[in-house]
Amino acid sequence: MSRYLLITFLFLSHLSFGQSPAGGIKGSIKGDGNEPLANATLLLEPAGKSIVVDGAGNFAMSQIEPGQYIINATYVGYKKVSKKITVEAGRKTNVNLILSINDNSLQMVEITGRKAKTYKTKSTFIGNKTETDIKDLPQSVSYASKELMADQGAVRLGDVVKNFSGVSQFSFYDDLTIRGFRVNGQSNTQLVNGLRSSTGFWKQPLTNYLERVEVLKGPSSALYGNASPGGVVNRVTKKPLNENRKSISVSLGSFNTFRGLADFTGPANKDSTLLYRLNLGYEDANSFRDLQFDKNVIVAPSLTFIASPKTHINFDMVYNSSKSRLDRGQSVIGNNLYSTPQSLSLSTGNDYLNEQTYIVTLSLNHNFNDHFSFNAAYSKTGYQESLYEHRGANVYAKDKLGNDIPNLVAMQIFARTRKRYIDNFSGYFNYKGNTGPIEHKIVAGYDYGSEKTPVGASQLTASGYRNATNTGTIANYVAKDSLKYLRDSKGNPVPNVPSFDLNNSINSQRMQDDSKAFFAPTNLSPAYYYLNAGYIQDQLKLGKLQALIGVRYEYYTDFANYATSTQVKTHSSAWLPRFGLVYSATNNINVYGTYVMGYNPQTAATLSNPNAGGPFDPVKSNMVEAGAKSSWFNDRLLITTSVYQIEQSNTLYNANVAGQPDLLRPVGKERSRGVEFDITGRLSANWSILASYAYNDAKITESTIPAEIGAQKPNAPRNMANIWTRYNLAQGPLSGLGIGLGANYVDRRTLSINLAQSIPNYTLLDAAMFYTVGRMQLQFNANNLTGKKYWVGGYDYIRLFPGTPRNYLLTMNYSF
């Protein structure tokens, strides 16, 4: 028996030592932005073995027979990668895979969140309401991703738009200039997730809950209704991911700045049919400006319900509670820009601005099949304002002869409360099909929009000069009627609200006893309008040529004297065509041309300003644009060049009437001509870049005031340039270190169309350092390194908006 056991043992031992030992594989999976793709899936064929990589994107397989295999790597939202490998006996084969974002699934990515971490976005929905490669869109688009905003430490919209060609700040409110035309948050022409929304105008929107900010240049009325001819700003909120990601960050910086942010996302149930995302933000920051501060609380939840592979439902909300003071800008003595410090604010310790804003969106996407889908979304914006402010009356105080006293700014007091509500519905069908050799992408839809300022809005105003009996006020001082006014020891008229002394600002900024001021109610009439619109558009493709043909019909209803016994409905309508051509000159270069029209009613409701005057004729505009778009370095870098002309009629400007600071007047015609150049993407896996240049000749071509003809438009710089780049060290002893550098140039600008006042050009230099170790990143941003004194915009020398001096921000971010 023992002999048989010995023979069996020797036989098995011979078999064991005669076989080749097993091998294995190890490595990592990363995105093309060098980010680890946690929980990506690997499948080894034909062995049939699969594995899920760990949180750092690393993996290892053992006990694999030597031989030839194909390893497949997949990750939701990214293109599948397959690679042939050879497994050798007794050895671990290293396999490192790079996956790039799958833009063909961008519809899904828009709904469930973008996983790529890069400055570049290949496709967009803003231009066509259907997934379109940016190269195939016959219109210029600029954008900034959440990665760019994070690298620059940009927390407000004004910090972001400096990256876009042809876009600059008009003031430091939510107030921009695009290709020479003004766009602001109060005019209801900005978009959130492609739907019309609004802000309170006074404060720039925060960005911690945004996936990206994008600007569609030129009139966009053919798709989105009444809008500025310069372009439309779209803020895309972060959407849920189907994997667990959590991050928290804390920032400390100049001017006693503290911010705490959090971003949590992942599946909310076991089968991942319900996804969630929650962005939270808290800010407590002062300013380089006297008496100014911002306290913000942001709550931005998002839910995605995957009812089936073909049906997705989204819920998004952004809630912002803001406490601050309203900063009306810097005033200087006479025409001397440098006569007062840029920190000078006309506010007092009494002042406050409390705002609450919410934006709630419910959306549905259903794919009937691979060719036919339906999208519907409803959005509601609510805004509430409670304001008390001491502000300039936009003029200097008068002496007894009626002359300006240049060191005294005439003051007024506003006490205001108001609410605004905006409703939007958008429903449209997408169809992709062929007619013979011609490919079609057809969009047909219906839009409804409304805005209401309900009953209850009210304002008390104290302004003007006291009458001789000190029992009331007179709006303006007229020297020949000096006996009608109460006068001081020098014979000068006594203002209702004490003037602000630019030579003794500390005394003027103290808390004021306003009990003796004469207040009068200011008319804030309720307002309401709504619009109905239908549109159809076809993007055709035949070989290398693409054509975009579309038209929108908009029917606009406004209520004159809304909510009164004399309420009357008024109507207007417009047909808005859109034409575009794209030709693929090479595999990576497309040239394009387009013609679009714009339309924007100008009523008390759309202007959100019942004190503006009017009624005014609607703004009408058109744009002709041509350009080229190209991609380089395996589609990592996008370059866009465009040439355009925009014409507009019936633009409104401030009438500059004393005592009526909100009164507007129309100007005949304007024309903007320019050239723009944009670069976005990566030069290598570790080197990101964004750069732009814009030349804009924006002039008034017709006016009832001859001196205005030929004048450059206010706050519209002729030349602008920008660059930002980041380089990461991926190997060696400095691995994990990153460096960012940036510069911005803005040309000289006039402040008003009388050409009497202007602000100088400026160049700003910024820098950043990043150090990543494990799940922790430390970031240090230094802005305006040279301490340049500059102004971002202004109305006149009583209302200047100075830029931020040298400042620093230290951020610690932890991901888990």
Measured torsion, CA atoms of residues 126, 127, 133, 134, in degrees rounded to the nearest 10: -100
In the block, tokens 């820098």 appear at 767
pLDDT at 628 over 60: yes
d(CA 453, CA 456): 9
CB atoms within 10 A of CB 98: 16
Number of residues that this document lists for the chain: 816
Comparing CA positions, the residue from 201, 657, 646 lying closest to residue 393 is 657
Q: Is the preceding peptide bond at 615 cis, omega within 30 degrees of 0?
A: yes
Q: pLDDT tens digits for 495-552?
A: 999 999 999 999 999 999 999 999 999 878 898 989 999 999 999 999 999 999 999 9
Find out whether 82 and 20 touch, Cβ atoms under 8 Å: no
The residue among 115 and 387 whose pLDDT is bigger is: 387
In the block, tokens 């549905």 appear at 364
Comparing CA positions, the residue from 398, 371, 565 lying closest to residue 479 is 398
In the block, tokens 């990515």 appear at 109
Q: Which has the minimum average pLDDT: 18-27, 143-152, 698-707, 728-737? A: 18-27
Find out whether 187 and 212 touch, Cβ atoms under 8 Å: no
Tokens of 415: 């006490």
How high is the pLDDT of residue 39? 64
Q: For residue 13, count CB atoms less than 10 angstroms from its CB and return exposed for 0-12, middle for 13-18, buried for 19 or more.
A: exposed
Find out whether 229 and 598 touch, Cβ atoms under 8 Å: yes
Give whichever of 62-71, 129-138, 467-476 has the largest mean pLDDT.
467-476
How high is the pLDDT of residue 14? 45
How high is the pLDDT of residue 103? 44
Give Cα 191 to chain centroid, integer Å: 9
d(CA 722, CA 677): 10
Tokens of 235: 């803020």
Find out whether 53 and 35 touch, Cβ atoms under 8 Å: no
Residues of the chain with CATH 2.40.170.20: 235-464+520-815
Q: Which has the minimum average pLDDT: 16-25, 66-75, 351-360, 368-377? A: 16-25
Backbone phi, psi, residue 32, to 5°: -75, 0
Backbone phi, psi, residue 13, to 5°: -65, -40
d(CA 718, CA 538): 36
How high is the pLDDT of residue 454? 93
Which is it for strands 231-237 and 274-286: parallel, antiparallel or unpaired?
unpaired
How high is the pLDDT of residue 15? 43
The residue among 778 and 754 whose pLDDT is bigger is: 778
Buried b (16+ CB within 10 A) or exposed e, 528-556: bbbbbbebebebebeeeebbbebebebeb
d(CA 315, CA 267): 15
How high is the pLDDT of residue 51? 79
- The CATH code belonging to domain 20-99 is 2.60.40.10
Comparing CA positions, the residue from 177, 174, 164 lying closest to residue 206 is 174
Q: What mean pLDDT is reported for the chain?
A: 88
How high is the pLDDT of residue 206? 86
Residue type, 111: I
Buried b (16+ CB within 10 A) or exposed e, 306-329: beeeeebbbebbbbbebbbbbbbb
pLDDT at 583 over 70: yes
Under CATH, to which class is 135-234 assigned? mainly beta
Residues of the chain with CATH 2.170.130.10: 135-234
Residues of the chain with CATH 2.60.40.10: 20-99
Number of H helices, E strands in the chain: 7, 48
Residue type, 775: R
| DSSP codes of every residue in 467-517 | BTTSSSEESS--GGGGGGB-B-TTSPBPBSSPPEETTSHHHHHS----TTS
Beta strands of 311-351 (E only): which ranges? 311-324
C-alpha torsion sign, points 18, 20, 21, 22:
negative
Q: Measured between alpha carbons, how far is residue 707 from residues 665, 688, 700, 753 in Å? A: 16, 47, 10, 9
Q: pLDDT tens digits for 18-61?
A: 455 788 888 888 877 677 776 677 888 887 777 777 767 788 88
Band of pLDDT at residue 115, cut at 50, 70 and 90: low
Backbone phi, psi, residue 513, to 5°: -85, 100
Beta strands of 179-273 (E only): which ranges? 181-184, 190-192, 195-197, 210-217, 231-237, 245-253, 257-267
Comparing CA positions, the residue from 476, 382, 384, 458 lying closest to residue 415 is 458
pLDDT at 126 over 90: no
Buried b (16+ CB within 10 A) or exposed e, 288-300: bbbbbbbebebeb
Band of pLDDT at residue 659, cut at 50, 70 and 90: low
Round the CA-based radius of gyration of the chain to a whole number and report it: 30
Backbone phi, psi, residue 468, to 5°: -60, -30
Helix (H, G, I), strand (E, B) or coil at 210: strand
Collect contacts of 266-270 with beta carbons under 8 A, ≥24 apart: 266/240, 266/241, 266/242, 267/242, 267/243, 268/303
Query: Mean pLDDT, to the nearest integer, of 138-155?
Result: 92
pLDDT at 328 over 90: yes
Band of pLDDT at residue 645, cut at 50, 70 and 90: very high
Domain 235-464+520-815 in CATH 2.40.50.140? no
How high is the pLDDT of residue 762? 97
Buried b (16+ CB within 10 A) or exposed e, 115-134: bbbbbbbbbbbbbbbbbbbb
How high is the pLDDT of residue 754? 62
SS3 content of the chain, % helix, strand, coil (to 5): 10, 55, 35
